[in-house]
Amino acid sequence: QKGTRSESSQAKKSQHAEEAIFYMNCRAAYLTVLKSSLENIKSKEQLLLVLQQAGRNPSQKTVNKYWTSQTTTLNFDDFCTILKKEKPATKTELLEAFGRIDTDNTGYILHDELYKILTMRGEKMTWDEVSAITKQAGFNCSGKLDYNKFCDLYMTTSEQCCKTAREKLEVDSRLRQQQFGSQAETSSEGITLPVSKPSPRVSRKTDHKLAPTKGDSRTPSRPSSAQSCKASVSTTISNCASSNRNTKLIEPDTIKEWQCAQSKGCFYLEDDGEIISHKYKLHLPQRSTVCITIKPLNVHQVEGKSCHWLSVDTALYILKENETQENLQLVSFTEQQNKEMFGWKGELGSGIYWLLPFTTGCRLKKVKTQFTGEAKLVYRGEDGELALTKEFRAALLDIFETIDLDGNGLLSLEEYNFFELRTSGEKCDEEAWAVCKENFDMKKNELTRQGFMDLNLMEANDREGDPSDLWVTLLSLGYNKALEMTEACPFVIDIYAEKCKPRIKAIYLEAGSWQLNRAICKSVVNKGEAKVMDGCENIIIYTYKAGRRITSVIENKSENKVIIHVNNEQSKNCLSNRGLTVFAVEVAPKSMTVSQHVMPLNEQEEWLYNCVHSLL
C-alpha cells in the first residue's frame, strides 16, 4: 500500500510539473504579444499571433472556430484552453501530409506542383507567399522542394518561437511575478498554477444502483469529502422512471388551423468536445399566441444502423432583439416535454426574436467504437466508371435531408453554404454557384438531390477513386467509418402562430455564444430552487429540473474569484455533461456560471441526483 501511495504521489508530482511547464509556455507566448496576461485578446489577428508564438500554425478555419462573429475578446484562460485543444503539428504529421502529394515517394515536390496546390486548394496562398517558400536555398534545389528539410526547419522555427518567448519571460522578473489569468491562491511544488476548467469529455464509471426513495423529493445530504471545505451546500432530487417523460406540452386541437414555419438544423460535435449548431432569427409581423417546439429529426436510416441521436436532449431559448443584436432579452425556453419533443406556448409581441438551440452534451459526446472495417464509398462498375455505393448514397440522402433546412427538397445557395462551412470552412460564391448550375441538376437555381449526388461523385472522380476527401466530409458531419451518425444530432423546429405568418431563417452555424450561456443561467435562476452556501452568503447554488434534465448554476456575489468543488459521488444512475464525478468550477467575481447538466443514464430506471457544492 505504501508503494502504491508513493507511485500515486510521484504521478501527481509529474502531472503538476507538466502543467507548470504548459502554463509557463502559455504565459510566455501571451506576453510576447500583449503587455499583461490580464489584458484581453481583442482581435482575430492578435489571436493568430499569440497562437503562432506558442508554436502553433493554425488554419483560418481553426481561428474562426474560436473567434466567431459574436466574439469581442478572449482572456488568458481562454487562450490556455485553446492551446490544450490545438496541439502543435509533429514532424511525422507534416511528412505524412507531404507524402500524400509525393505519391512516388521521392522526397521532393516540384515547384510547379507546389504552386498549383497551395494557390488553388484549401486556404489558398498568394503567388508571392509560395515564392517566399521556394526561394529559400536551405530546402530548394533545381525547381524542387526537399520537404524533409523543410519540415526540419519548420519544427526548429516553431521550437525557437517558444524558446525565445520563455527566455524573455525569465529575464523580466517583473513579468514573472505578475498575477495572471484566473489563478488559484494555492500552489504546487512552489509554482502557482491557474486552475484549468475540467474536461467535459472524460469518461467515468457510473453507479447503476437504484435510489431507495421514490417520487421527486429533496433531502439534505453531505458526503465526508465536503467536510474539509470552508462552506458547502447539498441538493438531492429523487426521480421515478415514469417522471422522465411528462406530457405537459399539449398541442391545441385548432393548431392545424394556425400558420406554421419550420426549419431544420443540426448539432455537430467538434474534436475537442465543443458543440456547434445553427442559430435562427424569427420574425413575427404582429402580436400572437405561438407554440414553438424542437425535437431530434428522424431521418431515414439504413436498416440495422443505430439512431443514436434520437436520444439526444434538445432545447430552444427564445430571446427578444431590441435596439441591437447585442442587446438580447430572454423571453422563455422550451421546458414543456412530450416524449422527445420540447416546447413552449405563450404570447409574443411583434418583432425580431433569436432562437438559440441547445443540448447539454450529456448524450452527444465522443464515443470509441470498434470497427470491423471501413465502409466502402465508391466502386468501379463493369464499364470502369466510378459509382457511389448503396450505403454511401443512403448516407448522402440523409445528409441532404438534414442540410435542406426549409424542407423543400432542394438546396439553396445559403443552405449549401452552411454545408460548405461545416465541411471545408469556405463559402461558395455566386460565380461558383453558376458553374454548379452548368454542371449539376438544379431547379429554380437550387441544387436537387441528384445534383448533390453527382457533385460528390465528381469529387471522387477528381481523386481517381481515393475516398479521403469524402471521408473528411463525412467525419465533419458526425459520421464514423461505419457510416453511422454518432457525433451529430439533426433537429427540427416548428413555430405555430395563431394570428400571423411567422418567418424563421438560419443565420449562423457556430458554438454556443455568451448570449446562450447567459440565457441558460437566467432561466435556472428564475425558475430553480436557490440555496445559499452554509458559511458563505455570497455563494448561491440554483438547481432546476426540466423534464429529464437537471441544471445547476453557481452565482458568486463576492468581489473575489472563487473555486467551487462539485461532488456527485452519491448520485445514482446519472450522467453529467462534465463526464466527471468530482470536479472544480471557477467563478469570476460578481458573475454566474453553469455548474453542470445532469440526465438519467437509463431512463427506464429511477435516478438520484445528489450533489454537494463546496467552497475551496
Q: Where are the strands (E) in 217-358, listed by range? A: 231-239, 259-269, 275-284, 288-296, 315-321, 328-333, 336-338, 341-348, 351-358
CA distance 367 to 488: 12
Using one digit for the tens of pLDDT, what is the confidence trace for 189-246?
Answer: 222 333 333 333 233 333 333 333 334 444 333 333 334 456 889 999 988 875 445 5
Q: Which residue has the cell 422512471?
A: 241
User: Where would I find the H helices in 123-246?
Assistant: 127-134, 147-171, 173-177
pLDDT value, residue 47: 93
Q: How many residues does the chain have?
A: 616
For the chain, list residues with pLDDT below 70.
Answer: 1-17, 37-38, 122, 137, 169-230, 242-254, 300-306, 323-326, 370-371
Q: What is the DSSP string of 5-16?
A: HHHHHHHHHHHH
Q: Which residues contact 551 (CB under 8 A, 6 or more apart)?
A: 360, 520, 524, 528, 543, 544, 594, 596, 597, 598
270 and 359 Cβ atoms separated by less than 8 Å: no
pLDDT value, residue 321: 85
Give the three-class secondary structure for 225. Answer: helix
553 and 188 Cβ atoms separated by less than 8 Å: no
- At 106, list the grid cell: 521521392
Using one digit for the tens of pLDDT, what is the confidence trace for 418-473?
Answer: 999 999 888 888 888 998 999 999 999 999 999 999 999 998 888 888 888 899 99
Model pTM score: 0.65
- At 89, list the grid cell: 503539428
C-beta neighbour count of 462 within 10 angstroms: 10
**CA 311 from centroid of its chain's CA atoms:** 18
